[in-house]
Amino acid sequence: MTKVIAFSELRKIKDSLPDGSIQKIAEALQVPAETVRNYFGGSSYDKGQSCGVHIEPGPDGGYVSLDDTTILDMALELVETKEA
């Protein structure tokens, strides 16, 4: 299921992650850490892959259409754990 989120909100989630979360998500999904960073707006395709993220121009950095929310769901869970 595709989800649309503001780019600024996606970056806010990334910035709220506890230290080491990118690597933790990458290991759980068996993908390079750069792929997870690319999901959050990075652009290192040398070491990582694209992961179904489509950015459209607009206010607050535009909108992001996510083809798969697995990384987002894992990140939100880690943020909630950090805040608890």
14-41 confidence digits (pLDDT tens) = 999 999 999 999 999 999 999 999 888 8
One-character DSSP codes across 8-41 = HHHHHHHHHSPTTHHHHHHHHHTS-HHHHHHHTT
From the CB of residue 72, how many other CB atoms can be counted at a distance below 10 Å?
20
Residue whose C-alpha is closest to residue 79's, from 6, 9, 31, 5 = 9
- Residue 7 predicted with pLDDT over 80: yes
Q: Is the dihedral of CA 27, 33, 37, 38 positive or negative?
A: negative
Residue 6 DSSP symbol: E
At 81, the pLDDT band (50, 70, 90 cuts) reads: confident
What pLDDT, in 10s, does the model give residues 36-63? Answer: 998 888 765 565 555 667 778 888 789 9
The confidence score (pLDDT) of residue 16 equals 96
The number of domains in the chain is 1
Q: Which domain holds residue 35?
A: 3-83
The confidence score (pLDDT) of residue 38 equals 87
